[in-house]
Amino acid sequence: MKQHLYNWAAPVLIVMLLGTQCKQAVTQQQAPTAATGQTSKKQSMKLNAGVITTKLAESKEFYQRVLKFGITFENDFYLLMHTPDQQTSFAFLLPDHPSQQPIFQPAFTGKGMFLTIEVEDADAEYRRIKDLGVDIKVPIRDEPWGDRHFSFYDPNGIGIDIVKYAPPAQ
Whether the predicted pLDDT of 61 surpasses 90: yes
* Domain-wise residue ranges, the chain: 16-22+45-164
For 10-28, the pLDDT digits (tens) are 223 333 333 333 333 333 3
Given a cut of 80, is residue 126 above it in pLDDT?
A: yes
Which CATH superfamily is 16-22+45-164 part of? 2,3-Dihydroxybiphenyl 1,2-Dioxygenase, domain 1 (3.10.180.10)
Average pLDDT, the chain: 82
Q: Which range is least confidently modeled, 1-5, 9-13, 72-76? A: 9-13
Which band of pLDDT confidence, cut at 50, 70 and 90, is reported for residue 39? Answer: low
DSSP-based three-state secondary structure for 123: helix
The pLDDT value recorded for residue 74 is 97
Please report the pLDDT score of residue 63 as a whole number. 98
59: left (phi over 0), alpha (psi -120 to 50) or beta: alpha
- What burial letters (b/e) apply to 61-100, b meaning 16+ CB within 10 Å? ebbeebbebeeeeeeeebbbbbbeeebbbbbbbbeeeeee
pTM of the model: 0.74
Band (pLDDT 50/70/90 cuts) for residue 169 is confident
Separate counts of helices (H) and strands (E) for the chain:
2, 11
